[in-house]
Amino acid sequence: MKARILLRQLDLPYEAVTVDLFRRETRTPEHLARNPDGRVPVLETGDGTLIPESGAILLHLAEDTPFLPAGGIARTRVHQWMFFEQNRLEGDLAMARFIKLTGRDGKYPEVFEHRLARGLDALATLERGLADGRPFIAGDAYTVADIALYAYAHCGGDAGADLASHEHVVGWIERVEATPRFVNDLAPFPDL
């Protein structure tokens, strides 16, 4: 979803190819050749270069665009929040969402509760990060850090997080969704 948001906002044509992790298509030799870790997404550029990991894809696509500051502290802030997204939101809130939506919360309640508690803490951090009134997470400009964070923050309710209790996060989600050519095309989890 993160890469698709930016590709549309950059008005770059692309072909989406679905690799179904629930059918273990991410563990096939063909996919492991694209990404040795077997995860998605993987961007294949026009010259055949393969770029795995959503953060790397966002940074690659955003180079020399308004979505990524040219350098200095502004660029460092984008990286800071992208690392936070990978370590905290994806690692905790997104994992709690996955456990819940796949029905594993009853099978592993301690794991689910731990991930959800840490995910709620990550949302509280995001709330504090937006509390100074800036419109976007790294400052006044919308960047790839906003795209990265949005992907899991906006659907935290699926894990049981009460987004309404985070007014700055809710306002920020609305601003992200109001950016030009933004489309939320998050597909629902399949019935397992």
Give dist(CA 86, CA 78) in Å, integer: 13
Q: Is the pLDDT of residue 173 over 90?
A: yes
Checking 129-137 for CB contacts under 8 A at 24+ apart, the result is 129/81, 130/168, 130/169, 130/171, 130/172, 131/168, 135/172, 135/175, 136/172, 136/175, 136/176, 137/77, 137/81, 137/172
Q: What pTM did the predictor assign?
A: 0.94
CATH numbers and ranges of domains, the chain = 2-62 (3.40.30.10), 72-177 (1.20.1050.10)
Token reading at 148: 């990265």
pLDDT band at 86 (very low <50, low <70, confident <90, very high): very high
| Distances from the Cα of 41 to the Cα of 48, 85, 178, angstroms | 15, 16, 24
**Where are any strands of DSSP class E within 4-113?**
42-44, 50-52
Give pLDDT tens digits for 89-126.
999 999 999 999 999 999 999 999 999 999 999 999 99
Residue 46: per-residue pLDDT = 93
Q: Decide: helix, strand or coil at residue 91.
A: helix
Residue 191: per-residue pLDDT = 64
